[in-house]
Homo-oligomer: A and B are copies of this chain.
Amino acid sequence: MAQRHPDSDTPVAGEVLAPYLREQATEFLRALRQHRESGADEAAEPAHALRAAARRISGALHTFRPLLDADWSDRLRTELAWLSGTLAREHAYAARLDRLIGALHRLSPSAGPRSSVPSQNGGLTVGAAKAGALIERQLTLARTRAHSTALQALGSSRFHAVADGAAVLASEVPLRKDAGGHPLAPFAADVEARLDEAVTALPLVRAGHPYNAEALLHGLAADAAPESQDAPWHQVRLLLRLHRYAQEATGARPDRDVRLISAGQSLDRHRDAAEAATAAASAARTPRIAPATAYALGVLHADQRHEVEASRFTFQAAWRRAPSPDHAVPTP
C-alpha cells in the first residue's frame, strides 16, 4: 500500500482518480441513454461509447483496487466485463466478416459473394465466391445471435444493476477511508511493470525478422496450435490497454503517445487477423463443401495467419521506438 504523498503536484486519488471515474461513469450513462433512444441502424456508435466507458471504469477499478471499496468494485468490474463482452460480440462478428470478405476480394478481385461469379474463370474463383458465401452465412448468423443476446442483456435486471452501479459512481466514488490523498503513480507503475514483463517474454527478435514464417508454424497440425502461440500477444494487448487506462486515470495523455497507439493498433490487428484465420479454418470444417471452396478457405486462412505475423512485426517495430516525450505528461 502506498504512503500518503506530501507533494501536492503528484496526482492523488481524491483529486484525480475520483473525477476520472465520475467522468467515465457519466459518459457510460450518456451513451446508455443515447443507445436507448437510437434506432437499430444508429446503435453502433453509442454501443461503442458504452463499451469504451465500461472498459475504462473496469480498468481503473482494477488498477487502483487498493484505494477503493474492494467488494463493491470487484462486483461492478465483473458485471462491466460481462456487459462489454456481450456488447462487443456483435461488432466483432461484423468486423470479422468485413475483414474476410475484403481479403477474399484482394485474393480474387472478380469473385466474392457481392458480385456475380464470372464464368470465364476456373474452379478456384468459383471456390472463392463459395467460400465468401459460406463465411457470410456463418458470420451473419453468429452476428444475429449476438445482436439478440445484446438486446436481451440490455433489457435484463442484471444490466439495470450495472447501470445503478454506474449511477453511484457518477455521483460518489467509493474511495476507502483516508485513500483520497494517496498518490496514484505506484499503482500505474505496477501495471506498466507487468506490461514490460509480458512484452519481454514475447519472441520479439524473431518477430523483428520479416517473413519468419512463425505464424503458420504447425498451422495444419491441430486446432489449438496457432492459438497457443497467439496467447501471450493477446495478453500483452490487454495489459497495454490496462496501462493506457491507468495513464488516463492518473491524468496523463496516452492518446498523444504515438508509440503506445501504434503498438496497440498492431495488437488489435493481431487479434482480429487471428480470429479471422480461425473463422476461415472453422468454415473449412463445414461438412459437404466443395474442394474448391475448401481450397479458397485454406488460402484465406494462411493469408490471415500472415497478417498475424505482419502485426507482430509492426508491434516490435513500434515498441522498439523510443517513448515519445508526450508520454505521461499530465493534462494542463
Contacts and interface: CB of A to CB of B under 8 A. Distances in A.
Interface string A246-267: 0000000000000000000000
Contacts of A121: 221-222
A124 interface: yes
B122 A306 contact: no
Given A211-B306, A302-B306, A221 B107 contact: yes
Contacts of A307: 211
Nearest to A302: B302
Contacts of A218: 106-109
Nearest to A285: B123
Contacts of A217: 106-107
Contacts of A96: none
A221 B294 contact: no
A169 interface: no
Given A284-B124, A291-B289, A293-B291, A220 B299 contact: yes
Contact of A211 (B111, B289, B309): B309
B313 A302 contact: no
Contacts of A108: 218-221
Contacts of A300: 298
Interface of A: 104, 106-111, 121-125, 127-128, 210-211, 213, 216-223, 281, 284-285, 289-303, 306-307, 309-310, 313
